[in-house]
Structure 1
Amino acid sequence: MRLYEHPLSSYAQKVKIALREKGVAFTAEMPESFGTGSQDGPFAAANPRTEVPVLFDGDGAIFESTVILEYLEDRFPEPPLLPRDPAARAFARMTEEVCDTQYEAVNWGFGEILWFKRATGDLAEHLRAEATAQTRVLQKWLAGRLGEAAWFGGERFGWADAAVAPILNRSVHYGLGPEAGSPLAEWHGRVKVRPSVAQTFAEFDAAAAQMAAASELYTTGGRRREYRDHRLEWMVKSGGVEVVLAGLRDGNIRFPWPGGAM
Structure 2
Amino acid sequence: MINALNRKSIMTLFADPVCHYSHRARFILCEKSASAEVEFVDSKEFPEDLQELNPYGTLPILIDRDLALFNSRIIMEYLDERFPHPPLYPIDPVSRARSRLLIHRIDQDWYTLLDDIVNAGEKKAAKAKKLLRENLIASIPLFESNKYFLSDEFTLVDGVLAPLLWRLPLYGIELPKEAKAIKDYIARVTKRDTFQESMSKEELDMMESHILMAS
Aligning the two structures, in what range does the TM-score lie when normalised by the shorter sequence? Answer: 0.7 to 0.9
* Residue 133 of structure 2: aligned partner: 136
Contact persistence 2:18–2:200 (CA under 8 A): no
> Which of these residues, 159, 162, 166, is aligned with residue 162 of structure 1?
159
Superposition deviation, residue 153 in structure 1: 4.6
Residue 20 of structure 2 corresponds to residue 20 of structure 1: no
Structure 2: give runs of 5+ residues left out of the alignment: 1-10, 210-215
Contact persistence 2:22–2:60 (CA under 8 A): yes
* Residue 230 of structure 1: aligned partner: none
Change (3 A) 1:129 1:15: closer
> Which of these residues, 193, 196, 210, is aligned with residue 195 of structure 1?
193
> Which of these residues, 13, 18, 25, is aligned with residue 3 of structure 1?
13
Superposition deviation, residue 140 in structure 1: 3.2
Superposition deviation, residue 58 in structure 1: 1.2
Bigger mean CA offset, 88-97 vs 9-18: 88-97
Contact persistence 1:15–1:69 (CA under 8 A): yes
Superposition deviation, residue 129 in structure 1: 3.7
Q: How many residues align?
A: 198
> Which of these residues, 54, 66, 88, is aligned with residue 59 of structure 1?
66
C-alpha root-mean-square deviation of aligned residues, in Å? 2.6
Change (3 A) 1:9 1:153: same
Superposition deviation, residue 133 in structure 1: 2.1
Superposition deviation, residue 76 in structure 1: 0.9
Give the alignment of 1:40-79 within 5 angstroms. Answer: 41-79=48-86
Contact persistence 1:8–1:207 (CA under 8 A): no
Cα distance in 2 between the residues matched to 1:207 and 1:105? 25
Give the alignment of 1:98-137 within 5 angstroms. Answer: 98-112=105-119, 118=121, 124=122, 126-137=123-134
Cα distance in 1 between the residues matched to 2:142 and 2:128? 21
The one-letter amino acid of 1:74's match is E
Q: Deviations over 1:39-76 (max 9, x none)?
A: x7211111111111111111211111111122112211
Contact persistence 2:142–2:150 (CA under 8 A): no
Percent of aligned pairs with the same residue?
25
Contact persistence 1:107–1:171 (CA under 8 A): no
Between Structure 1 and Structure 2, the one with more helix by share is: 2
Superposition deviation, residue 190 in structure 1: 0.4
Contact persistence 1:179–1:185 (CA under 8 A): no
Structure 1: give runs of 5+ residues left out of the alignment: 119-123, 212-262
Superposition deviation, residue 94 in structure 1: 2.5
Change (3 A) 1:201 1:143: farther
